[in-house]
Structure formats: structure tokens, C-alpha cells
Amino acid sequence: MPVAQLADVSLNYRLDGAENAPVLLLSNSLGTDLSLWEPQVSPLSQRFRLLRYDTRGHGGSAATPGPYTLDQLGRDAVALLDHLGIAKAHVAGVSLGGMTAQWLAINAPSRVDKVVPCFTSAHIGNPDMWNQRIAAIQAQGLGAVVEGVLERWFTPAYHKSRPDEIERFRKMLLGMPKHGYCAAAAAVRDMDLRDQLGRVAAPTLVIAGLHDLSTPPAHGEGIAAGIKGARCEKVEAAHIGNVEAAGAVTKLLLEFLTA
């Protein structure tokens, strides 16, 4: 896959779909890479030029020294659009990617058409938990947290019915550079967009998981309440809901982005 050499980071990215189609930027969650969006690629690429990328510190992108900030990750996305000559795009993201999507709608409104924050929050809170997780990973690697993370990412029913997907995500998480994960986790820990949501002018759809323990439905409802005209739709899934409830999420994305 191609790599964009930006000012202070190299970002791994992939484009799918017709070159003249509207661009849809897809941002990944903490601990995953651009393959997170694989369930959506075939149906969405029939209508959009999909731009997926690995967030700084993840996958094939550079794991530069941390800690990272959400401002930094948001600026990375803008720089990638600039690098590819893309003036404006729809933006969707899961978890950390949904935080980046909100940041873009707030801070780079001329670059955003419609925005879809998924399974995410405007303020995740609980800094002690994040500090403990970061310390454990720094000391012992991602193996120290992988099982607990996977339990929160997917419902027990999905664990039972799709062990192949659980294993895929286990390998993905364990393959992350631990310093990249920790640096990006600091961005999640420290971000707070609640007072800025009123600045979002882009049409907004928030998608939440009814069984999401990491960013419960109330977090999605809070984002939608802070943005004029936004709505929150809920699906039967936990935190990585675009995979667990792939059909429902794809349907919501297509209906909203093509309306």
C-alpha cells in the first residue's frame, strides 16, 4: 500500500473506488489498522472513493515519539487530504477515529462534507484507567491487556459465533507497536470536545452500540445533543460495531451519505 510522507510522519493509506466518486475518509480505532473497515469496503466503494489510513502509531504508519494529542492526529488527517489533493470529504471514524472525525468537523469545517462519528465519545474520561493501561503495556507489552480489550470490543455472542474474527483482531492488536498504542491512548485520555460540538456545521450522524461498554450509547447521544440537527442511531453491537453489526452500519452510512 502507498505511504504518504508528511511533514513529521509517514502514513500508510489505501484508496478504493472510482477516482471521480465523492471521497469518504475512514479513520480507525485505537489498536486497529485500516483493515478495520474491510466489511464496508465492497458496498461503500461502489458509491465513494474510499480513503482509509492507519492512524499515527498504528499499522503501517510511523510510530513517532509520543504522547500524541487529538489535535496532532486531526492535523495528520488534514495533511493526508492535502497530500492527495482532496479538497473535501465525508468523514467517518470508529472510537479514536470518531474523535478524529469530530475534530475535523470542528477545526477544519471547509474540508468536511458530512460526518459520522461511530462508537465514540466527545470525552471518554477515567484518566486513572488509561494511565494504568498505558503503564501495563509499557511494562509488559500489549499481551497484558489484549483479552480484556477484546472482551469490550465484541459481545459474548460474537465471540462465540465468530472466533475467526476475534483471532484476527487479537493478532492485529498484538501486532501494534506498544509505544504507538500508548502514545495514541494518551490522546484518547486527554481529549475533551464537549464544549466545541456546537461549532460543528456539517450534517452529522452518530452511530452507537447498544452493548458498548467503552463508549456507551449515552456518549453517542451526548455528541448528537451537542450538534445542531444531528441524530444518534443505535445498533446491536459492542465497541467495534462496524464489524459486529456490519450490515446495519453499512446501511446507515449509505442512507445518510447519499441522501
Whether residue 1 is predicted with pLDDT greater than 90 in this model: the reply is: no
Q: What is the pLDDT of residue 110?
A: 98
Per residue in 24-82, pLDDT (tens digit) is 999 999 999 999 999 999 999 999 999 999 999 999 999 999 999 999 999 999 999 99
Whether residue 223 is predicted with pLDDT greater than 90 in this model: the reply is: yes
- Per the structure block, which three cell numbers stand in for 45? 466503494
Q: What is the dihedral of CA 113, 114, 119, 122, to 10 degrees?
A: 70
Q: What whole-number distance in Å separates Cα of residue 54 and Cα of residue 80?
A: 11
What average pLDDT does the chain have?
97
Q: Tell me which CATH code domain 3-257 carries.
A: 3.40.50.1820
Whether residue 212 is predicted with pLDDT greater than 90 in this model: the reply is: yes
Span 123-129, mean pLDDT? 92
Residues with Cβ within 8 Å of residue 69, at least 6 apart in sequence: 186, 187, 190, 191
Work out the pLDDT band at 125, boundaries 50, 70, 90: confident
H helices, E strands: number in the chain: 11, 8
Pairing, β 3-5 against β 10-16: antiparallel
Whether residue 11 is predicted with pLDDT greater than 90 in this model: the reply is: yes
Whether residue 150 is predicted with pLDDT greater than 90 in this model: the reply is: yes
Q: What is the pLDDT of residue 65?
A: 96
Residue 160: CB atoms within 10 Å: 10
Helix, strand or coil, per DSSP, at residue 11: strand
Looking at per-residue pLDDT, the higher value among 7 and 1 belongs to: 7
Q: Is the sign of the CA dihedral 154, 160, 164, 170 positive or negative?
A: positive
Percentage of the chain lying above the pLDDT 70 cut: 100
Whether residue 16 is predicted with pLDDT greater than 90 in this model: the reply is: yes
Q: Where are the domains of the chain?
A: 3-257
Per residue in 31-42, pLDDT (tens digit) is 999 999 999 999
